[in-house]
Structure 1
Amino acid sequence: MRGVFYVLSAFAVMGLAIWAYGQNDRTQRAKNETRELRREIRSLTEAINVQRAEWAYLNRPERLLALAEMNASRLGLLSLEGRQFGHISEIPYPISLTRRGDD
């Protein structure tokens, strides 16, 4: 009877060892995948920051003004002046948004 118990115990230990090895292997693969994803995220974040810097550089007001002046005749652009804009009192607001203090 003891012999059967020892054999079953040995099989149980081997089975648990195989299970533990599988869990360890899966954990290591998950850690490696996480490491790769973090590396990719860092790379993409850096690329986004570079693109934001380039966008800010290309959209400098003095550069855009020079481009607008250089291409104004070809594109039919007009210069912006204060008189081209209306006054805030000229904006027609819907009735539902006006103040209702007289109700």
Structure 2
Amino acid sequence: MAAAWAVVLAERPEGEGPASVAEMMAAVETVVSREDLAAAVESVRELLPPPGSDDDGDAEWRASLVDRYATVRPFIDMLSAVIPWGATEAGTEVLAALRGLPR
């Protein structure tokens, strides 16, 4: 999602008008497939309360998590580079995600 939004938010060259939806999607698909983007959106959707819902029992926890991210962020790059992580076959996806954190 971050790669897709980087494309969407990139400034267009001077003199070019706004991009059409088709042009924007074509540019986004140069960095991430629609399937991967849809999967990322679904992952985020699973973490968020339903749209329009005022009944979020985890609102306090979510706010706390956002506040702590600024503290943890500087260490994410080091976490995957300094510690020689290993995993069983079942944990390889988690290990790949950990190594991908800096991106």
Higher relative contact order (CA 8 A, sep 6+): 2
> Normalising by structure 1, what TM-score?
0.24
* TM-score for the superposition, normalised by structure 2: 0.24
Higher fraction of helix = 1
